[in-house]
Amino acid sequence: MGSTFGQLFRATTFGESHGGAVGVVVDGCPPRVPISLEEIQRDLDRRRPGQSKVTTPRDEPDRAEILSGVFEGRTLGSPIAILVRNTDARSEAYADFKDTYRPSHADYTYEAKYGIRNWQGGGRASARETIGRVAAAAIARKLLAEAAGVEVLAWVGRVHRIEAQVDPARVALAEVESNIVRCPDAAAAEAMIARIDEARRAGDSLGGVVECVCRNVPPGLGEPVFDKLEADLARALMSLPASKGFEIGSGFAGTFLTGIEHNDPFTIADGRVRTTANRSGGVQGGISNGENIVLRVAFKPTATIRQAQQTVNRAGEEVTLEAKGRHDPCVLPRAVPMVEAMALLVLADHFLRQRAQCG
């Protein structure tokens, strides 16, 4: 089912939305990396439901349990298993449409592939699966910070048509976490919150863009052909639920520039090779160049809405669906730690691959 990500730093997630638990097994993490349950929980708390009026009201504490691989606050080098129990599933809310395919969900495609599906909250296709990714990435975050001083930070850059003005080189975690929408532009955040609340009251939903910066990434990560760093980042970020687009550096806007306008001139600064601009987004030829890696991920509006929609059921009949359950009117605020997680998993894997290949 493609539930394992990474080559050397590998994360295998497990569990369904309304099953007993979800979690992850991390294999390939080096020994002696200092990690605490509190550090893992900090990232899970940013992802968990029930945070505010702009997220789903499902009330899950998402308390992590480390089952193996950590002893006296350090990794052992053996597989690390982390479990989070589901406590507020309310599966009965989905019973009325267990035989109906919800528009823009994975209901039909999952059943077409496997001939069976868990209709309780989307099962394996639910965003609840990302708990395991975020937990694994907390370990990757600590590994990268300890070994190279790498910092990965994401924020909401746009909700619907409301766009924030943010400098990726200067944005700080405290600014991101200063409001419930996780947008460091205070004026834009206020407008975003109002727009999301408007959509929620109308039984509708909104999409947008999460931006992310990866700082202090050493040059040399990535491969020049199939395993280009930006290609692996794109694969990772596009594996997130509701993701619909990926850009790095200048992205699609770069197509409006000429070569002389787009190229990043080299210079020497602080005794090392630097670029005077960063339109490449920190990656050139598939390999990190030491500049900030700046990327953006587009997320569609949440598929589950309270308005009536046309669909079909398992019997091949056209029916009208009025969805129930507890859902995010906008996935963006909770997608922020998920974007960070996938970027961290990619960087940790390539960091270990580079160290193994080149020392």
Query: pLDDT, tens digit, for every residue of 118-174?
Result: 888 788 888 999 999 999 999 999 999 999 999 999 999 999 999 999 999 999 999
> What pLDDT does residue 122 have?
80
The per-residue pLDDT for range 334-350, each reduced to its tens digit, is 999 999 999 999 999 99
Three-state SS at 163: strand
Whether residue 39 is predicted with pLDDT greater than 80 in this model: the reply is yes
What's the pTM value of the predicted model, to 2 decimals? Answer: 0.95
Confidence of residue 88 (pLDDT cuts 50, 70, 90): confident
Instruction: Band the pLDDT of 21: cuts 50, 70, 90.
Output: very high
Alpha-carbon dihedral of residues 194, 93, 20, 334, nearest 10 degrees?
-10
Domain boundaries, the chain: 4-358
Q: How many CB atoms lie within 10 A of CB 312?
A: 14
Mean pLDDT across the chain: 93
Q: Could you report the per-residue pLDDT of 222-269, keeping only the tens digit for each?
A: 999 999 999 999 999 999 999 999 999 999 999 999 999 999 999 999
Q: Is the dihedral of CA 259, 262, 263, 267 positive or negative?
A: positive
Fold classification of 4-358 is Chorismate synthase, AroC fold (3.60.150)
What are the structure tokens assigned to 174, written together?
């405290």
What is the per-residue pLDDT across 42-78, written as a single tens digit (0 to 9) for each? Answer: 999 999 876 777 776 667 789 999 999 999 999 999 9
Angle (CA) 86-90-94 rounded to 5° is 120
Please answer whether residues 162 and 195 qualify as being in contact, where contact means their C-beta atoms are separated by less than 8 angstroms. yes
Q: Is 93 or 179 the better-scoring residue by pLDDT? A: 179
pLDDT band at 325 (very low <50, low <70, confident <90, very high): low
Res 93: pLDDT: 67
Band (299; pLDDT cuts 50, 70, 90): very high
13 pLDDT above the threshold of 70: yes
% of residues, the chain, pLDDT over 70: 96
pLDDT at 216: 98
The residue written with tokens 């089912």 in the block is 1
3-state helix, strand, coil in the chain (%, to 5): 35, 25, 45
